[in-house]
Structure 1
Amino acid sequence: MGKESKKEMMFERMLEKKKEVKVVRRIVFGITLVLLLIGLIGGRSAYKYVTGALQPVDPDAEEVIEVEIPIGSGLDTISAKLAEKGIIKNARIFKYYAKFNNESQFQAGTYGLTKAMTPDELIESLKTGKVYREPVFTITVPEGLTLKQIAKIVEKETNITEEEFLNYVGDEATIDRLIGKYSRILTEDIKGDQIKYPLEGYLFPATYPFYEENPSVETIVDAMVQATATNVTPYLDYLQSEEKSVHWLLTFASLLEEEATAQSDRETIASVFYNRLDIDMPLQTDPTVLYALGAHKDRVLYADLEVADPYNTYKNKGLPPGPIAGAGKSSLEAVVAPAETNYLYFLADKEGVNHFTDSYDQHLKNRDRYLSGD
């Protein structure tokens, strides 16, 4: 690093230090004024008290502590939670520090924090929804994966085997614990007789940071279910107004995730499915057949369409019993805000481009035109 760069860094650090000292002095002034009025403590002691309260609880701490910040939490609640978890030394001082820095717009979510974090690091994390430090490693779960596929990713990135992961997410005690913890998102719907895997579709596709070398399977699964809760919660009012469940939303969205190749496709395919449901027409979507078969195939054969399984939407009207994969934000949004069309049919050509029509005769012509030679 050059001399100029070092000077710039030193200058920036000096400015940050001055800013911190200013803020501390302002807090001390406010607190000291009150304290002096009631004669409890002197200014010098107050300055020392506040300065100490704004230091990390344990600069060498490595243990990651989970802190859940509910939606709608104010600064008082957040400060109290951080103090309760031992992340900060004093809730009132942290609250004043944030206020004097004009920081109040914090995001709800579950955070992995440590006692080594400074107030500035904590504030940055709560503002951005991200932990303000480098994770040990991350796990990326793409959209459209099944539980089995997620289990393979977890096995590759951790010391947790695919079998161990699947046993955990299928265990009745696990399901009951998660239903109790996330009661607004997970319901008894996931324990239905026809459900193949209770948590299918409930492990949200995202990149997950982890701050310990060997997180437990419980830690990993909880992070993924929490992400689902975070992303589904904005739709709860809509679902209530439509008298629909979260299970319905995730099931519908999973079909779009498996069928679509673009955002516009999701919205248009959603309209096709809504139109079919309105006239009591089977959804007839190939991904549900593949899910029923429990195998990946490049193409679905006519014989496959006859499989006797509740997930087969060629044989059963309406949505399948549950999600067939993990749906992302775009698919969730498409369920809530579909395109307005009269389409009842669509097919994807050899390049993956979808072609829509409201006429079965035109659908057959599209099949001959775009899929001839298959």
Structure 2
Amino acid sequence: MGRVITLLILIIALVAGAFFLPKDLGSQEEVVFKIEKGEGSKEIAANLEREGLIRWASFFRLYVLTTGVSGRLQAGTYQFSPSMSIFQIAGKLASGDIATVNITIPEGFTAEKIQARVKNMVGLDMPDLEKHEGYLFPDTYKVAYGATGEEIVQMMLNNFDRKTASLAITPDIVIMASLIEKEVQTKEDKEIVSGIFWKRLESGMPLESCATIAYIKGIDQWRYSYEDTRIESPYNTYLNLGLPPGPIANPGLDSIEAALYSQDSDYWYWLSTPEGETIFSKTLAEHNYAKSIYLK
């Protein structure tokens, strides 16, 4: 009799276990599953079964009710697979482990490029993004499915505030940092270029930043023609003295710090080679010679 009871218990355990196994252990499919606020375990279980994520809604509901998980299932958008067990699915729902997508914004991206990337990755528009140019901090953002464009923008603005909280940030510093970001690559070069820019401002020289011509034209080039430098625009730092009226890109922390803590030098000019090397010059004659060598 004892053996029979043991066998029955074993059979029941195996059958019960089968009900809780993944619906398709070898599945590679990913399913986006959304729970609306106010949905209970009965509705959630039915939706999971309908989406092909579990075998039987009744067993999912039985599990969450008997384990006390039922009252902790959280609204949101999740990413599941038929290869996941009822335990795994319930665990993610109880912990609020919602589905996210990583959106990387490189240093120097303009608001226009940020909008294009976000639109391409999650299909969202971000209205009036240009008014935040310079303050959309470059970083990798973990964005929840279902987030709005406004929420993503606010994430970037809040990140800027956090990263620069200890710095003496002014609008002019952000504008200067955006120029530096687009001009040179290394932290050391950024600090030297910052010193040159501030020195030019103090002496009444035009900044003559090629980055502002790139911003006006919407095209990054190694060289710009004389005609390019004559384009009428308040952002043209060849024609207009002082800083442009606003940032031309969204700078990273190195560029912001370089704008604040510039490096004094005897240099007044520089150029960037096609390989990304920065060549500094003390005089215009030296600069013109460098151009003849490196920018043939």
**TM-score clears 0.5:** yes
Determine helix, strand or coil for the equivalent of 2:72. coil
Aligned partner of 2:157 in structure 1 is: 225
Letter in 2 for 1:218: E
CA distance in 1, matches of 2:69, 2:182: 47
Aligned partner of 1:137 in structure 2 is: 101
Superposition deviation, residue 234 in structure 1 = 1.4
* Mapped pair 1:200 → 2:133: yes
Determine helix, strand or coil for the equivalent of 2:132. coil
Higher Cα Rg, which structure = 2
Superposition deviation, residue 61 in structure 1 = 1.4
Determine helix, strand or coil for the equivalent of 1:295. coil
Letter in 1 for 2:72: P
Aligned partner of 1:78 in structure 2 is: none
* Mapped pair 1:210 → 2:150: no
- Aligned partner of 2:111 among 138, 147, 171: 147
Q: How does 1:242-257 map to 2 (within 5 A)?
A: 245=170, 247-257=171-181
Superposition deviation, residue 159 in structure 1 = 2.3
Greater than 6 Å deviation, 4+ residue runs: none
Superposition deviation, residue 341 in structure 1 = 0.9
Q: Does the 8 Å contact 1:257/1:327 carry over to 2?
A: yes
Superposition deviation, residue 297 in structure 1 = 3.7
Q: Does the 8 Å contact 1:144/1:326 carry over to 2?
A: yes
Aligned partner of 2:58 in structure 1 is: none
Q: Does the 8 Å contact 1:57/1:115 carry over to 2?
A: no
Aligned partner of 2:128 in structure 1 is: 169
Aligned partner of 2:18 in structure 1 is: none
The alignment of Structure 1 onto Structure 2 pairs a total of residues equal to 215
Aligned partner of 1:87 in structure 2 is: none
Superposition deviation, residue 148 in structure 1 = 0.9
Question: What TM-score, normalized by structure 2, do the two folds share?
Answer: 0.67
User: Which protein is richer in helix relative to its size?
Assistant: 1
Q: Structure 1 pair 313/61, CA: closer, same or farther in 2 (3 Å)?
A: same
Superposition deviation, residue 299 in structure 1 = 2.9
Question: What TM-score, normalized by structure 1, do the two folds share?
Answer: 0.53
CA distance in 1, matches of 2:99, 2:143: 5
1:88-141 Cα offsets, whole Å, 9 max, x none, are xxxxxxxxxxxxxxxxxxxxxxxxxx99559xxxxxxxxxxxxxx675211110
- Aligned partner of 2:208 among 260, 284, 293: 284
Determine helix, strand or coil for the equivalent of 1:233. coil
Name stretches of at least 5 consecutive residues in structure 1 with no aligned partner: 1-54, 65-113, 119-132, 171-196, 240-244
Letter in 2 for 1:204: F
- Aligned partner of 2:218 among 294, 310, 325: 294
Letter in 2 for 1:146: T
Aligned partner of 2:121 in structure 1 is: 157
Determine helix, strand or coil for the equivalent of 2:271. strand
Q: Does the 8 Å contact 2:181/2:252 carry over to 1?
A: yes
CA distance in 1, matches of 2:69, 2:229: 61
Determine helix, strand or coil for the equivalent of 2:280. strand
Letter in 2 for 1:330: D
Q: Structure 1 pair 259/135, CA: closer, same or farther in 2 (3 Å)?
A: farther
Aligned partner of 1:59 in structure 2 is: 72
Superposition deviation, residue 59 in structure 1 = 3.0
* Mapped pair 1:327 → 2:251: yes
Q: How does 1:39-50 map to 2 (within 5 A)?
A: none
- Aligned partner of 2:166 among 223, 229, 234: 234
Q: Highest relative contact order (Cα 8 Å, sep 6+), 1 or 2?
A: 2
Determine helix, strand or coil for the equivalent of 1:302. coil
Superposition deviation, residue 62 in structure 1 = 3.8
Letter in 1 for 2:241: K
1:229-279 Cα offsets, whole Å, 9 max, x none, are 1122211xx35xxxxx2x212111001110112111111111111111121
Q: Does the 8 Å contact 1:58/1:115 carry over to 2?
A: no
Q: Structure 1 pair 116/307, CA: closer, same or farther in 2 (3 Å)?
A: same
Superposition deviation, residue 285 in structure 1 = 0.7
Superposition deviation, residue 368 in structure 1 = 1.7
Q: Structure 1 pair 283/138, CA: closer, same or farther in 2 (3 Å)?
A: same
Letter in 1 for 2:157: V
CA distance in 2, matches of 1:232, 1:57: 43
Determine helix, strand or coil for the equivalent of 1:203. coil
Letter in 2 for 1:209: K
Superposition deviation, residue 342 in structure 1 = 2.2
Determine helix, strand or coil for the equivalent of 1:356. strand
